[in-house]
Structure 1
Amino acid sequence: MAGLTMQNVTKAFGNFQAVSDVSLEVKDGEFLAVLGPSGCGKTTMLRIVAGFENVTSGSVRIGNETVLGSGVNVPPERRRVGIVFQNYALWPHMTVAENVGYALKVAKVDRVSRDKRIADALALVDLTGFGDRRPANLSGGQRQRVALARCLVSTPSLVLFDEPLANLDVHLRAAMEDEFARFHERTGTTIVYITHDQAEAMALADRIAVMDHGRLAQIAPPRELYREPANEMVASFISQGIVLPAAVLTAEDAGHARVEVLGQQLVARCRPGERPRGNARLCCRSDDIELVASGGDGIEGTIGRAVYKGGSARVEFSATAAPDLAIHFEQRDPVTVSAGDKVSIRIASGWVIPAEGAAAR
């Protein structure tokens, strides 16, 4: 296996920068998910690593070998990079074994070695005995595993996944998440996993890189990304975070500060070194917001709507002091509020988003 290093990579199409000054390092054996909204540069970045796109500037190294940059551009077939596509890309006229072993056949690997490597690859994805079947006779999840076996048979040093579960139904996606997790645990393969599905990324990845308009907004383990977003984009994008204007009043200790939000004061988490400032932003989650009992102090406002989701409702709230802010919270059964109700809420906790330009820990 091998790690991946991208250094100041930029890819422009005319005046449009699809990838802009991206630097990251994926450790040997690490599972990195690349997450972001449509058009943020995820797939372009994957194509650069695979060798399907050149760069405007910057360099790419796989293991100890520079494959792109400084006059070097190693062709895709020599990068030892495996790719699992969203649409599987299986040949319907070939059997499973023929699909898996096609690259070995083209490389003129002898029949005995080829058959053994095909059998080993199918065993890795739990498809032993399926070699004689055609793709049309397989389920969506099985086809995805054939695509994975075809990738593994060439013993790649790095595996790229391009939204591999996007075409599967919810049940199959959950099953394949387990398959990918077991595969990574068994093989220790270095994986870069492109996805727009946050739950998928959180469940699978050691770290997540969030892309925004071609730039790397933050790279961190899932829990840190959720609890400590580095900027407003990440805060609002991850799990529909609620970003509210706040004033930092005092630093309570080396990880908490007293803040004021919409007239309410609370102690929120923050980076060490946070100082009093009036133009701060607080990220909170729906679980951080609670209804205040009738007559209690809180942030006054009106319920916009309550959407029942089975067991709970997503409640949208408009604060009287700032009606344009998007605030929502969950209320479990029994759901007691409805559109038009006048209520008060309280923010129990949150994260002070670091000031622009503040040094990361």
Structure 2
Amino acid sequence: MAGLTINNVTKKFQAFEALKDVSIDVREGEFLAVLGPSGCGKTTMLRIIAGFEQVSEGEISIGGKVVSSPKLNVAPENRRIGIVFQNYALWPHMSVAENIGYSLKIAKTPAAERENRVAEALKLVDMEGYADRAPANLSGGQRQRVALARCLVATPELVLFDEPLANLDVHLRASMEDEFADFHKRTGTTIVYITHDQSEAMALADRIAVMDQGRLVQLDTPHKLYHEPATPMVASFISQGMVLPVEVSGSGVDGTCTATLFGQPITLRCRPSDAQKGAAQACCRSEMVRIVGPNDPGFDGKIIRVVYQGGLARIEFAPDAAPDLTVHFVQPDPVTLEPDQPARLAFAGGWLIPRQDEQ
């Protein structure tokens, strides 16, 4: 296994910058997810790491060796990288074993060694009894495991996953998430996992790199991304956080500050350097919303939408103080709230998003 260093990488396609000055240091044995909306630069990042594209500026190093720069681009087959694609890319006319061992055959690996390595790869993905099967006779999850075994048989130093669960149904996705987590635990392989699905990233990754418009906007653990988003984009993108206007009135103690939100006094968690008086934005999560009585601290408004989701409902609420904004929360069964119903809510807390001019 090997670490990966992305150092001030920019990728231009004529006048368009697909990546803009991105730097990420992936430790040996780390599981890094690269997450972001469509068009954020995830696929370009994968193609540059794999060697399918050359950087315009900066460097890519694998195991301390530079493999890409404006003057150098090591061929993909010489990078010791394995790639697992979302469409499996299995040869339909070959058996499982033949698919897995094809790269070894091309490399003229002796037959006995090839068979042993194919058997080891099948064991790693719990597919020992499927060597003679045709891909057409496998489920989607089994095909994905064969694609992973084909990647592992070449003993890569780094494994790239290109949205590998995008073509699977919800049940199979959950099962394959467990498979990938177990695989990483068993092998300690360095993994870069490209995805637009934040639930996959949050469940699997040691750290997550959030991309937006070609830039790296935050690189942190799943827990910190959720509780301490660095920008409004991260706050709203991760688990549908609410980005709401606040007026900071002063600093508190132990990393908190006082503020008002829709007229409600509120204590927010914050970095000490951000507790400056004035207008700012806060990230508030739905679990911090509660319904309060008419005389309790809070803010008034009305219910605008109730979406039943089985066992609970997502409630959308327009505050009287800012009717163009939406606050959302959940109510478990029995769901008693209805559209156009007035209500009074309160936030139990939130996170003061760092001011962008301080980033």
Q: State the SS of the aligned residue for 2:165.
A: coil
**Corresponding residue of 2:346:** 346
CA distance in 2 between counterparts of 1:9 and 1:49 reads 11
**Corresponding residue of 1:333:** 333
8 Å contact kept, 2:54–2:70: no
What is the aligned residue count? Answer: 359
CA deviation vs aligned residue, 1:127-172 (integer Å, no higher than 9, x gap): 0021100000001000000000000000000000000000001110
Q: Which runs of 4+ in 1 moved over 6 A?
A: none
1:276 pairs with 2:280: no
**Corresponding residue of 1:166:** 166
Q: State TM-score, norm by structure 2.
A: 0.98
CA distance in 2 between counterparts of 1:302 and 1:11 reads 48
What is the CA distance between 1:294 and its match in structure 2?
4.1
Q: Percent identity?
A: 62
Matches for 1:252-331 after TM superposition, within 5 Å? 252-331=252-331
**Corresponding residue of 1:47:** 47
8 Å contact kept, 1:247–1:276: no
CA deviation vs aligned residue, 1:237-287 (integer Å, no higher than 9, x gap): 100000100111111114111111110011111112333221210100110
Shifted more, 5-14 versus 173-182: the winner is: 5-14
Matches for 1:13-92 after TM superposition, within 5 Å? 13-69=13-69, 71-92=71-92
8 Å contact kept, 1:9–1:58: yes
What is the CA distance between 1:303 and its match in structure 2?
0.5
The amino acid that maps onto 1:328 is: H
8 Å contact kept, 2:104–2:154: yes
**Corresponding residue of 1:222:** 222
What is the CA distance between 1:12 and its match in structure 2?
1.3
CA deviation vs aligned residue, 1:220-239 (integer Å, no higher than 9, x gap): 00000000000100001100
Structure 2 unmatched runs, 5+: none
8 Å contact kept, 2:32–2:205: yes
CA distance in 1 between counterparts of 2:70 and 2:342 reads 64
CA deviation vs aligned residue, 1:72-96 (integer Å, no higher than 9, x gap): 2110000000000000000000000
Q: State the SS of the aligned residue for 1:354.
A: coil
CA distance in 2 between counterparts of 1:83 and 1:115 reads 21
8 Å contact kept, 1:254–1:273: no
Q: State TM-score, norm by structure 1.
A: 0.98
**Corresponding residue of 2:188:** 188
RMSD: 1.0
What is the CA distance between 1:327 and its match in structure 2?
1.3
CA distance in 2 between counterparts of 1:15 and 1:142 reads 42
Shifted more, 191-200 versus 12-21: the winner is: 12-21
8 Å contact kept, 1:254–1:271: no
What is the CA distance between 1:122 and its match in structure 2?
0.4
**Corresponding residue of 2:143:** 143
CA distance in 1 between counterparts of 2:279 and 2:232 reads 13
**Corresponding residue of 2:155:** 155
The amino acid that maps onto 2:28 is: D
The amino acid that maps onto 1:18 is: A
CA distance in 1 between counterparts of 2:356 and 2:210 reads 17
The amino acid that maps onto 1:326 is: T
CA distance in 1 between counterparts of 2:285 and 2:3 reads 34
The amino acid that maps onto 1:65 is: K
What is the CA distance between 1:56 and its match in structure 2?
1.3
8 Å contact kept, 1:208–1:221: yes
What is the CA distance between 1:295 and its match in structure 2?
4.3
CA distance in 2 between counterparts of 1:167 and 1:187 reads 25
CA distance in 2 between counterparts of 1:279 and 1:15 reads 36
Q: State the SS of the aligned residue for 2:335.
A: coil
CA distance in 1 between counterparts of 2:37 and 2:93 reads 36
Q: State the SS of the aligned residue for 1:53.
A: coil
**Corresponding residue of 2:105:** 105
What is the CA distance between 1:185 and its match in structure 2?
0.2
CA distance in 1 between counterparts of 2:240 and 2:318 reads 16
CA distance in 1 between counterparts of 2:159 and 2:269 reads 37
What is the CA distance between 1:297 and its match in structure 2?
3.6
8 Å contact kept, 2:56–2:70: no
Structure 1 unmatched runs, 5+: none
The amino acid that maps onto 1:33 is: A
Q: State the SS of the aligned residue for 1:129.
A: helix
What is the CA distance between 1:326 and its match in structure 2?
2.2
Shifted more, 305-314 versus 293-302: the winner is: 293-302
8 Å contact kept, 2:299–2:346: yes
1:124 pairs with 2:107: no
Shifted more, 186-195 versus 65-74: the winner is: 65-74
The amino acid that maps onto 1:157 is: E
8 Å contact kept, 1:230–1:354: yes
The amino acid that maps onto 2:16 is: F
Shifted more, 207-216 versus 244-253: the winner is: 244-253
